[in-house]
Amino acid sequence: MSRVIVIGAGPMGLAAAYQAVQDGHTVDVLENAPEPGGMAGHFDFSGISLERFYHFVCRSDQPTFDLLAELGIASKMCWVPTTMGFFFRGRLHDWGNPVALLKLPGVSLLTKFRYALFAFLCVRRGNWGAALENTSAREWITRWCGKTGYDIFWRPLFDLKFYEHANSISAAWMWTRMKRVGRSRRSIMQEEMGYIEGGSKTLIEALVGAIEAGGGKLHLGAGATRVTVQNGCITGVDTAAGHFSADHVLSTIPMPLITNLIPDLPPEWKQRYDAIESIGLCCLIFKLKRPVSRHFWVNLSGEKYNIPGIIEFSNLRPLSHSIVYVPYYLPLTHPIFSWSDEQLIADAFSGLQDLNPSLTRDDVIDVRVARLRHAQPICEPGFASKLPPIKTPIRGLQVADTCFYYPEDRGIAESVRLGRDMARAV
């Protein structure tokens, strides 16, 4: 069997390491952070163990369910009826079902009908992705919903997540995102989302335990500094803690870090990695004395906002207080990305007060700000052809990150699927 090094201890890296251990390989996981989990990592939020970046599970996330069963924690999967809200023209409306759509004021029946038909087809259609691969989401949605429908329901979301890239996001990526959420329903009237009891930390700890029980080793605070190569073959990985020899290296860290990490890649491969762009994220987490709303998620529509919506996580996972995530997706060049924590908190809380005018600063128990430089890949039309193969020209080296979930969006299920596939390819 082989000596395998996995770079990155997020869900994908841990899933890869788990599978490699199961297959009998000698495994070392190198992680720069002081704890495992990556974007699924937890922190202590005034006595609550909570994800830095919110996660939820959909009914179609089969790789997650399979892994939970293998780890003996399938019973930790919980399902909750959830609802959605839409803050439109200064009022918070119910959203996400036909009755809510019909009741929405100020929108014509024709626009509502086109939106409903479009949403229905997105959920029910089996394979739409290939036909949409070279189409932008804006063009596709406008064709079905009309310009008015796009401007009301979609433009604010795209503009406040992708900014200058808003008009050139892949329709195939958008469709798979809508299909995943749309198929997680009890009925046409009731959405249902899932969470893992104890949060994603439950899965991370079970994965780490299984890796170590199988002889694998996790090295925290030991980020990779260089992947070493000789005669076109992997020899190992350099870290601040020393050199680790290997026959195979599986890298799961963000694409913008790859060319510096692996200088022996051919120039044309470096160009392909460097051509992949991403959006940063400033994610605020509020702990409040009272709820903002009864909805799990609320989309915002209005020029005054810098956020596309909020996630009231405590309306999914039962917690002792109201927990609200306010995500700012931003290009790294955007001025807001450089705002201080205090500026972000003031701006975000202003939006929460618009949703619930009874909120005051006295309701804020605690608030944290988490930042990521590479949170969301920008998947433009034709993105599939832009991605290089996971197996590189360097023998024994595989490279992937969340970009390679495409056309699926980021999620633990896709992390598990791709990580295990990489390990099986060793």
Q: Kindly report the CATH number assigned to the domain that includes residue 332.
A: 3.90.660.20
Rounded Cα distance between 239 and 241, Å, is 5
Residue 110 has pLDDT above 90, yes or no: yes
- State residue 261's pLDDT score: 97
Would you place residue 302 in the very low, low, confident or very high pLDDT band (cuts 50, 70, 90)? confident
Same domain, 233 and 287: no
The average pLDDT across 76-87 equals 97
For tokens 């927990």, name the residue: 323
Query: What's the burial of 244, exposed, middle or buried (CB within 10 Å: 0-12/13-18/19+)?
Result: buried
pLDDT tens per residue, range 364-375: 999 999 999 999
pLDDT tens per residue, range 196-207: 999 999 999 999
Same domain, 176 and 124: yes
Is 66 inside any structural domain?
no
The DSSP output letter for 389 is P
Domain total in the chain: 3
- State residue 180's pLDDT score: 94
Same domain, 289 and 269: no
Rounded Cα distance between 296 and 287, Å, is 15
Q: What is the pTM of this model?
A: 0.95
- State residue 32's pLDDT score: 96
Same domain, 252 and 133: no
Residue 387 has pLDDT above 90, yes or no: yes
Is 90 inside any structural domain?
no
Does an H or E element contain 143, and which? helix 137-149
Same domain, 135 and 212: no
pLDDT tens per residue, range 239-262: 988 999 999 999 999 999 999 999
Same domain, 147 and 15: no
Choose the final residue of a domain: 377, 393, 409: 377
The answer, yes or no, to whether the previous bond of 331 is cis (omega within 30 of 0) is no
Q: Kindly report the CATH number assigned to the domain that includes residue 220.
A: 3.50.50.60
Same domain, 288 and 252: no
Residue 138 is part of which domain span?
Answer: 95-186
Is 69 inside any structural domain?
no
- State residue 351's pLDDT score: 94
Report the mean per-residue pLDDT for the chain: 96
Q: What is the DSSP string of 226-290?
A: EEEEETTEEEEEEETTEEEE-SEEEE-S-GGGHHHH-TTS-HHHHHHHHT--EEEEEEEEEEESS
Would you place residue 327 in the very low, low, confident or very high pLDDT band (cuts 50, 70, 90)? very high
C-alpha angle 231-233-235 in degrees, rounded to nearest 5:
105
Same domain, 373 and 395: no
- In 3D space, the residue among 161, 190, 252, 201 whose CA is nearest the CA of residue 35 turns out to be 201
Would you place residue 220 in the very low, low, confident or very high pLDDT band (cuts 50, 70, 90)? very high
The average pLDDT across 401-425 equals 96
Q: What percent of the chain clears pLDDT 90, i.e. is strictly above it?
A: 95
pLDDT tens per residue, range 153-182: 999 999 999 999 999 999 999 999 999 999
- State residue 188's pLDDT score: 87
Would you place residue 28 in the very low, low, confident or very high pLDDT band (cuts 50, 70, 90)? very high
Does an H or E element contain 406, and which? none
The average pLDDT across 43-68 equals 95
Would you place residue 59 in the very low, low, confident or very high pLDDT band (cuts 50, 70, 90)? very high
Does an H or E element contain 58, and which? none
Is 245 inside any structural domain?
yes
Is 77 inside any structural domain?
no
Is 205 inside any structural domain?
yes
Is 76 inside any structural domain?
no
Same domain, 282 and 272: no
Is 368 inside any structural domain?
yes
- State residue 84's pLDDT score: 97
- State residue 305's pLDDT score: 86
- State residue 371's pLDDT score: 95
Choose the final residue of a domain: 377, 399, 415: 377
Same domain, 355 and 287: yes
Other CB atoms within 10 Å distance of the CB of residue 49: 13
Would you place residue 1 in the very low, low, confident or very high pLDDT band (cuts 50, 70, 90)? confident
- State residue 303's pLDDT score: 72
- State residue 312's pLDDT score: 98
- State residue 238's pLDDT score: 98
The average pLDDT across 86-104 equals 95
Same domain, 236 and 314: no
